[in-house]
Amino acid sequence: MGPRDFRRQVEKLRDWGYELASFGELATRASSGGAAGHAALTFDDGLVDNLETLAPLLVELETTATVFVVSGWLGRAHPAAPWTRIVTADELRELHTAGVEIGCHSATHADLSALPYDGALEELRTGKRELEDVLGAPVEVAAYPYGRAGPETVRACRAAGFRAACAVSARGSWDDPHFLPRQDMENGCTLLGLRLKRDDLYEPLMRFLPARAVRRVSRRVKVALG
């Protein structure tokens, strides 16, 4: 998502009356039943553009965000996007100093739902410890790689010492702080898509073939119009 689309989506959320918060703040509000009217901006993996592009945008828009970082990838090319890389340890500290909340996205980005309890626990504990060693500060929230988490994954997350965690694609429950729902915003997602996600209508709608066709056409038109 480019800066222009990011600005438009933040502005739209505010037009709808949302107060933006870090994921940790949102989770705290959810635990007391006070999350309504709040939204958190979250980003996965820890790409260097979170420091170079996102952080200045957050200052410009006077808001905050949470970046979930894969601790074992620091300073390396992204495995699925080798043209970019993950922040270095120094850059991660700089991002944290800029006011961005740092969360854990595991140690190696393994599918935790495919691991036994002990394996998921080790991934989460290691990721938490390594990030805390870099930052010299607590890392209290997590996002499950690929958004996948079974009951044993959620149990491991609690045992690893996180106070909250999230899935993706609207999966999860506001009643469980370690399996909070989260909407993923892909590149090319329109304001209509944002509204549908806000109302928890996007995933049910996309199960129908005609809706998927409309989405593809919409994205192509958006690209053509620049």
CATH of 3-185 among 2.40.40.20, 3.20.20.370, 3.30.470.10, 3.40.50.170 = 3.20.20.370
Q: In which residue are the tokens 């952080």 written?
A: 55
Distance between start and end Cα atoms, the chain: 13
User: How far, in whole angstroms, is CA 136 from its chain's centroid?
Assistant: 22
Structural tokens at position 29: 């509000």
Per residue in 131-155, pLDDT tens?
999 999 999 999 999 999 999 999 9
Helix (H, G, I), strand (E, B) or coil at 101: strand
Per residue in 96-119, pLDDT tens?
999 999 999 999 999 999 999 999
Q: Give whole-number Cα distances, 100 to 89, 94, 226, in Å.
A: 15, 9, 30
Measured distance CA(216)–CA(226) in Å, rounded: 16
Q: Where do the CATH 3.20.20.370 domains begin and end in the chain?
A: 3-185
Q: What is the average pLDDT value for the chain, to the nearest integer? A: 88
Q: Which of 66-70, 142-146, 173-177, 208-212 has the lowest mean pLDDT?
A: 208-212
Q: In which residue are the tokens 């469980």 written?
A: 176
Query: Does residue 213 register a pLDDT over 70?
Result: no
Per the model's pLDDT, the better-predicted residue between 190 and 145 turns out to be: 145
Helix (H, G, I), strand (E, B) or coil at 144: coil
Q: Name the pLDDT band for 226 (thresholds 50, 70, 90).
A: very low
Query: Does residue 53 register a pLDDT over 80?
Result: yes
Per residue in 6-24, pLDDT tens?
999 999 999 999 999 999 9
Query: Does residue 78 register a pLDDT over 80?
Result: yes
Query: Does residue 224 register a pLDDT over 80?
Result: no
pLDDT score recorded for residue 185: 77
